[in-house]
Structure 1
């Protein structure tokens, strides 16, 4: 038998060290070639490290959260063959999951849902030790906690046995189908606690948020917009072309409004290098669209929005959002934005204070649409209203310019024909 030592690979882009985010194996596990061994975090992405060999894990080179230098020992695997020590760098990552560099995040404050009682008769049970921590994302762990499910009992169908949301639903459905005992009491005292180490993507997001709020002079501006007309146009276009071209959400209209408004306010489509004291205004409009996923908030980029039609923008937004949520967005798709659009959809609330996506100088936040009585030409009528809650870097954007920029977007959305007048 021999020992194959795998070293931390050079992921490129001049990166000298990476953070070990998560192990997918433990000492004693048998692994096969191309099996994912660990997740590591760079400045831009989470990448999976696969095994180049078959064998048995005999040593791990670090703990989750540890920053490791490129070339340091990542893992040692016992392999069949000569007894000499073999070394290699891990093969090129086979998959990369996005991280949200320099993005805004909004925390929704809502009462915690009461945990559901576990089904009386559960689905297929996995034999795990009581202290074994199964593989699952923070979102899946929260979901399981809300459902009252012990993760160690759930069979994971994801890579390396990772537990997915679908596994929780299948486990719960199986238990409900077989349940014969009466349901447990609706209200049960709980004293359990869970400590979650801030590592990997969550650490990177925290660092970016802290950096953005410390370095930029944020100020926010909120404006109310009547979106009745744009919603009527959207419904008409979907009815006429939805089957052949795809359904339109409000987002492609907002992207179009940004593109048109930026013609008169190029100072908003810019990046500020505060170390070099240089503002770079860009002709290309690369719109970052904040997207929530199980692994955190990401900002895939709709490139050259100025050259896209409504349906082209809609298709690209959908494609990028799906790629981000499925962990398949590339680094290029997650970088290079010039202005960011963020929306919580139906959960958008009345007002928010988005955090800048540095080094950008403007971010436009979309709140939810509500129907309200409004006075129009002396008559009280029901209109669809929506707020834009936007933030700017006051170091380089004046308050008056920010207000005029948002007013320009308001005018375009309230008179949607002007979106397409060249």
Structure 2
């Protein structure tokens, strides 16, 4: 899908130059016309004209004179933060998180943990419409200022066409077009793990690293891959199905329809299944003291139990961590990354998960390879997805990469 930030007037070439100027400000912050001219290799008179047009478009602002080593003091120009907004929607199996950022990529509003049951039905899609529409209304800005909406879904997403092949694939039209026709704002679809990785790459724990793996550890597990500073999609856009590596010889049926997947033994689904089994066997836990039926125990209950130093929950997180680490060791041997980030809701257990993961990486990966790989926890935490979705939309609208 090719949709860019909208300008009141101007030729295609002129508007592309404007996008280049806006893109520079978005990435580098405030600057002067001489510096902008030098960095973009565009003459000072041309840059001056472009900046003046963007000021008229109410996207840029003159922030006043700054000190210089000699001659006339140059003016400092920068983006007007509230001139445009982007919305990120993170759709999980049991909840929805929505956030909005301004043109400076500042998170200005968040609605988290909205109750939701992700089903592949028209009713489930209609509830998603309602949540997005209500959030836009509550945002309190003119709808024309909301330039785009990024929606994260799990499973097979073709980000280029806007098709989802795992959820809401009811007709041949791209899901992004269907939602856009309902909401009235350009919509971009992305796989949830890649969007979370994108957020962490741009606003989280990543600094100068160019080769990075981001693990989305939730009910399912997947990986977002950064190679030489760019997200790796693969031929069809489906790269990163980490949870479906066939690492176990078991009879457990995975959600993908196959047996033996890493996800059957090392995911939130697996953790929940194992925890319920232990409760049925008579194991004690702070969860059982709450008189919750074992079949009604969910991943979030177990994560809360970990933070209450529950022995059973901690033991099972360690077991899950060891298996995840074994899978990550394979990725390290293949990709030789600089950085591996543990993200998603399971990463909310912190070092209870990180330590067994690190131990397994040391045990199963080649020392010569993993010596240069650092393992860290996500900095953005639960907000990685909405931040990533907003940045993805902003970069698409500004034709940034």
Taking structure 2 as the reference length, what is the TM-score of the superposition? Answer: 0.24
Larger Rg: 1
Q: Which has the higher strand share?
A: 1
Q: Which has the higher helix share?
A: 2
